[in-house]
Amino acid sequence: GAPIDLDLAPIAEGQAIKLFWRGKLIFVRNRTKKEIDEALAVNIATLRDPQTDQQRTKPGHERYLVVYGSCTHLGCVPLGSAPGEPKGEFDGWFCPCHGSHYDSSGRIRKGPAPLNLPVPPYAFTADTKIKIG
Ligand code: FES
């Protein structure tokens, strides 16, 4: 599929949206200050799939996190994007299939999943606009 343009302005702080690109589910979250601070405070040496939060966001746009919405264990859709859904123990996403917890950077923190939720290719084209792909 072709790249898609997405306006992030309607995503309230603390909320996330889901969309499909190339047949794959993608989550876009507008993170709260607390969620960003938590993601930055992690000692990456303790992580199963060590990545800094900076490696997973774009400079100057740290409030936004864009990840594929497929658990890296067996591909279930993690909860945590819709209001009221459990975000797991690390303010990110929780996969109900076998109990994987992802943090507010989409990194695997607990449970059987081996890898972080991957970040798809995207770039900012304006302050609140991205092009995915
Ligand atoms: Fe998510 Fe197994 S598919 S924990």
Q: Which two tokens stand for residue 70?
A: 């497929």
Ligand 1 center from residue 129 Cα (angstroms): 31
CA distance 110 to 75: 16
Residue 68 confidence class, pLDDT cut points 50, 70, 90: very high
pTM value is 0.97
Q: Is 69 in the pocket of ligand 1 (CB under 6 A)?
A: no
- Closest Cα to residue 132, out of 69, 83, 80, 87? 69
Ligand 1 center from residue 55 Cα (angstroms): 24
What's the complex ipTM?
Answer: 0.99
